[in-house]
Amino acid sequence: MSQPQYSELVSLHGHIIDSLILAKVLDTILMMGGSFDLQEVRIGVTREQPSRARILVQAPSEELLAEILTAIQPHGAAPEVDRDCEVEPAPVDGVLPDRFYATSHLPTQVRLGGHWVPVEPIEMDTAIRVDPVKRCAGIVPMAEVRKGDLVVVGRSGVRVQPLSRPARRDVFGFMEAQVSSERPHAPLIADIAKRMQALRTSFRQGHPASKILLAGGPAIVHAGGRDALTWLVESGFVQVLFCGNALAAHDMEATLFGTSLGYGLAAGRTMPHGHEHHLRTINRIRGIGSIEEAVRQGVITTGIMAACVKQGVQIVMAGTIRDDGPLPGVITDSMQAQAAMRAALPDVGLALLVASTLHAVATGNLLPATVPTVCVDVNPSVPTKLADRGSFQAVGLVMDAASFLKELARELGWKP
């Protein structure tokens, strides 16, 4: 029974007890088929004092040991011995070196010339490209790497910093996934509103990390949340909007063809003319040339898109194979759309992902774990997926988009 022959000593620092980090690391080791010896555990006797543990990780094969070490690294478990990170050049454009280090969404540092350098901004499932001369590091998506770029390989010299519980005592400070339809929404929405109030103030004062991002699906308009969201935009509570062709088209259709509510009611689901309005709206804006121009010309005077244009909200519209049209401004290439979303994320201090699985997951993939994220959907699987990203900062609400936006806007002062 004396199988484990391969081992490596790793250490953990920080609030590893009350953040569950130590427990998760040990759990991971055991579940993957390894074992451990706790060489040393020093626990801070007050909440402020950090703790420290040294763990001898053991596994029956070298491959498994490597996998375990990879798996526990995002929890901050780093080899004891500090070495510089190892780099290799990308072999051709768009292809990473075989052994490239794959990032998580947690704060990450690499060791270059004996110094720990932050990888900023971090994004998960990318590689790390370094410039040893300037001693700086950043992420690079696979498709954007160019031949010869120096890419970090292996695990040495890479340090991941697990999140500690946020200082603020609000809904984002929980340990466990916050997704339930049987939970009172009001206090969660109140907490979110408070964050938004604070962020608006910070943004107006020019502070970094103070933008509010809303990524939303067309159900916002279908379900009747258009007025509330328009008010939120007009009131300065949204700085970045991620959406698709459908949200924008439905919103402007409401302007051009009168309220869609009456028609939706009268027509029922098998009526074609509702969808015809959708197509005519898109065609009209294509004729004008751009949403911005349609707003400028006074064709689109009300609603979400008009408010965004007037408020200078940064809009990224990404295309999909479901789209009619699409509207001018929709980025039909998914990699270009991803790049545009990525470029809009620095300085986002709160992300609201509302009623769009696609945008919720895509945005979740791009966001650092440190950005508080709220995911709202009437289907519990979407918020669950997001809240499962293993961070303290993701909150899910199982409710319809319109009810959420109305409650949120009311909490922030909307008088419908």
CB atoms within 10 A of CB 206: 7
Of residues 134 and 415, the one with the C-beta less far from a copy of itself: 415
Of residues 117 and 160, the one with the C-beta less far from a copy of itself: 160
Instruction: Based on the shown chain and the rule CB under 8 A, indicate whether residue 23 belongs to the binding site for a copy of itself.
Output: yes
We find the least distance from the C-beta atom of residue 208 to a copy of itself, in angstroms, to be 25
Structure tokens at 157: 């010299």
Nearest to 236 by CA among 220, 206, 215, 212: 212
Q: Which of 10, 87, 214, 282 binds a copy of itself (CB under 8 A)?
A: 282
Query: In terms of C-beta density within 10 A (0-12 exposed, 13-18 middle, 19 or more buried), how is residue 194 classed?
Result: middle
Of residues 203 and 392, the one with the C-beta less far from a copy of itself: 392
Q: At 404, phi and psi to the nearest 5? A: -60, -50
Instruction: Based on the shown chain and the rule CB under 8 A, indicate whether residue 92 belongs to the binding site for a copy of itself.
Output: yes
Determine the interface stretch with a copy of itself among 36-44, 194-202, 292-300, 303-311 (rule: CB under 8 A): 36-44
Of residues 30 and 135, the one with the C-beta less far from a copy of itself: 30
Instruction: Based on the shown chain and the rule CB under 8 A, indicate whether residue 411 belongs to the binding site for a copy of itself.
Output: no
Q: Which of 62, 80, 82, 125 binds a copy of itself (CB under 8 A)?
A: 125
* Cα dihedral across residues 100, 105, 106, 108: positive or negative: positive
Number of residues that bind a copy of itself (CB under 8 A): 124
Query: In terms of C-beta density within 10 A (0-12 exposed, 13-18 middle, 19 or more buried), how is residue 232 classed?
Result: buried
Q: Which of 403, 408, 412, 414 binds a copy of itself (CB under 8 A)?
A: 403
CB atoms within 10 A of CB 261: 13
Q: Which of 5, 146, 148, 335 binds a copy of itself (CB under 8 A)?
A: 335
Nearest to 212 by CA among 180, 189, 244, 242: 242
Determine the interface stretch with a copy of itself among 6-14, 257-265, 293-301, 345-353 (rule: CB under 8 A): 257-265
Task: Evaluate whether 10 touches 82 at the Cβ level (below 8 Å).
Answer: no
Structure tokens at 176: 């466990």
Instruction: Based on the shown chain and the rule CB under 8 A, indicate whether residue 359 belongs to the binding site for a copy of itself.
Output: yes
Count Cβ neighbours within 10 Å for each residue of 95-129 and write b for 16 or more, e otherwise.
ebbeebbebbbbbbbbbbeeeebebebbbbebbbb
Determine the interface stretch with a copy of itself among 44-52, 112-120, 202-210, 301-309 (rule: CB under 8 A): 44-52
Instruction: Based on the shown chain and the rule CB under 8 A, indicate whether residue 272 belongs to the binding site for a copy of itself.
Output: yes
Task: Evaluate whether 398 touches 378 at the Cβ level (below 8 Å).
Answer: yes
Residues 6+ apart with CB under 8 A from 123: 103, 105, 139, 141, 342, 365, 366, 367, 368
We find the least distance from the C-beta atom of residue 102 to a copy of itself, in angstroms, to be 4
> How many alpha carbons lie under 13 Å from residue 45 in its C-beta half-sphere?
0
Instruction: Based on the shown chain and the rule CB under 8 A, indicate whether residue 283 belongs to the binding site for a copy of itself.
Output: yes
Of residues 200 and 227, the one with the C-beta less far from a copy of itself: 227
We find the least distance from the C-beta atom of residue 26 to a copy of itself, in angstroms, to be 4
Contacts to a copy of itself from residues 128-187, by CB under 8 A: 141-143, 165, 171, 173-176, 180-187
Q: Which of 78, 100, 210, 255 binds a copy of itself (CB under 8 A)?
A: 100
